[in-house]
Structure 1
């Protein structure tokens, strides 16, 4: 067997392993997180031998080809981009209107799954992604964007940097040869001609310049800027939050635009919490440590238990969060120059009644509704819309 055939078999085995974890990807659901639930029992998440825990944590840093990426597992269990985009378009038409939103900026974008989904629906759409995690951005370029088609690379710009200093963030370099390898004709029959050659593949504007930053990169004014997955909780100081909101407002089109973020809360959010959500091939655990009522800070950890491999990836992602309140967010948005702020809230299932959930099933039919007042509940989620 030739070297090339062996490499192809190795790639096929790796691809089958990834596909195995894509069997229950419910993109139509609009929930990004179910109500966190108390659960003192470790259940299946601790079924793996305790003696393997340390080894698993070490192996997480250098996963084998048979192990699914932590980024793939995150996308599977946490994100629902179609639902988010549906609300983004609704908010834009309600509060701005007059045109179709085409230009999106996704801050704290991680693997930019939302941006990738945004590009799918209209060939005129563009997306900008900004994140501190270079590994996640590169994973996006290798795994998410190729599924859109060759033109996807020319319509997205990913920047590596801090949302508090966005203009200093650097454009992520795109290797045109790698793009050709990653884009398969079977995935992109509608986008590629059968005689495509390497020079036909867009390489993103000036993507080979390592010094290219957002400050000297030409971008259209964004119609929508968003920060999802409770990412604004990573900003702990009020001054930081206001500064970030100012940058988000400055990125919006002069014709008008919106900034949208999400937030969670409720009486159960200020306690030690654990949510388990089971998918066919893995279990996802969202865990909140002790809550400091003075600093309003906690630590969030995401764990994955892989059923096929009988292994667990503990602390696949960990965050230090300040849990902001809705009035604090509104005040900071107004101080940053947004002319109006709207809250869209939905009550989530009571954590005392849920010890575990199956996939995205619980709460998927609960819709967000605009509210000017909302009585405290055990658990709630909210979209916050700032109109420029």
Structure 2
């Protein structure tokens, strides 16, 4: 098979839906969230090696060997929900205080791993997830929420829709047979939890057969915290879109006070071709950033997984276009949307020239974020941006 035909077949296999066609009709990139830590420059020899490996995969004698879900690989290699939740609680108590945060909204939630971990941390907590990837939301309902417990389905609401038009988002329901399959009978005095589960079963049945009939409404508690992690705001390419999104966030926060938290990466190494590899016991995860357009401040990000047991590569498991916003641009847009205060928490990341690859999450675990007013440019840095209202 020629390289051109192979590329066409690959594009059909990955099925890009569009990161920003998620928002506007002229984009054609797939939006997914991602985590940035340690990069290494792209090398031609590595690219040639990958092409050779792809050719070998075309002739794999065991094509039927079961492949793990790309969503599972993503969760295992990229996300650290417990760490994010720890900082979310800290930010809320620092800038709002007076009560414990109970109600979370996770925008660009994907498989809503953060939301399900939020529910597990306190039985009083609720979560709302919003994403345009219906496959990822359904994967959450089938694989993540059952780890919370029987009442998890009544405390998590997943919506399929656009963050720029959240009022038109549709509630995603779980099929009754899936809910029944995941129920575990345990000794409990919480009859209310059983009743809530039965109610959610009925709601799930309705939503699964007629998803368009259930929209986001006022029954969901006003949110104490709204977050957009894994650099998801980079999927918004226009300033007007960013301001509009922040206005929707402000409207959804509790009038008693709340915070919005997003993350961002940067540094000298972020504006060039990059390759990052993390080796895990059963697979290698690769982050690839294409050439950086300094006029549009745009780049293409691709995530790849090399599965050791299957001896296969899942190339371009996720691929999308980003605009890399600057910190002052984000602050200006938040203030224009109406947030009275914006705070930056940054940490320096290891130098990319010294860290060519990593083993799991072993490096930089001890580096803490600190609130800063100024921060000198580094090779690589990571930031939480916290917008608060009281």
Shorter-normalised TM range: 0.7 to 0.9
Could you tell me which of 37, 42, 45 is aligned with 2:46? 42
- C-alpha change, 1:382 and 1:226, in structure 2 (3 Å) is same
What TM-score, normalized to structure 2? 0.83
Q: CA deviation at 1:180?
A: 1.4
Q: CA deviation at 1:47?
A: 9.5
The aligned runs of 1:89-128 (5 Å cut-off) are 89-128=89-128
Separation of aligned partners in 2, 1:107 and 1:352: 33
Residue 341 of structure 2 aligns with which residue? 340
Residue 79 of structure 1 aligns with which residue? 79
- C-alpha change, 1:192 and 1:51, in structure 2 (3 Å) is farther
Residues 149, 191 of structure 1: 8 Å contact kept: no
Residue 252 of structure 1 aligns with which residue? 253
- C-alpha change, 1:236 and 1:351, in structure 2 (3 Å) is same
Q: Does 1:227 align with 2:228?
A: yes
Residues 303, 312 of structure 1: 8 Å contact kept: yes
Alignment: residue pair count:
348
Residue 267 of structure 1 aligns with which residue? 268
- Unmatched 5+ stretches in structure 2: 1-33
Describe the superposition over 1:176-212 as per-residue Cα deviations: whole angstroms up to 9, x where unpaired.
22111134x3xx857799xx99996452683414334
Q: Does 1:203 align with 2:200?
A: yes
Q: Secondary structure at the match of 1:333?
A: helix
Q: Secondary structure at the match of 1:248?
A: helix
Residues 343, 385 of structure 2: 8 Å contact kept: yes
- Unmatched 5+ stretches in structure 1: 1-30
Separation of aligned partners in 1, 2:301 and 2:188: 40
Separation of aligned partners in 2, 1:374 and 1:313: 38
- C-alpha change, 1:309 and 1:372, in structure 2 (3 Å) is same
Residues 347, 379 of structure 1: 8 Å contact kept: yes
Separation of aligned partners in 2, 1:276 and 1:46: 13
CA RMSD of aligned residues (A): 2.7
Q: CA deviation at 1:217?
A: 5.3
What TM-score, normalized to structure 1? 0.84
Q: CA deviation at 1:52?
A: 3.9
Q: CA deviation at 1:285?
A: 0.2
Residue 164 of structure 2 aligns with which residue? 164
Separation of aligned partners in 2, 1:136 and 1:287: 22
Residues 35, 231 of structure 2: 8 Å contact kept: no
Separation of aligned partners in 2, 1:198 and 1:73: 35
Separation of aligned partners in 2, 1:51 and 1:333: 47
Q: Secondary structure at the match of 1:353?
A: coil
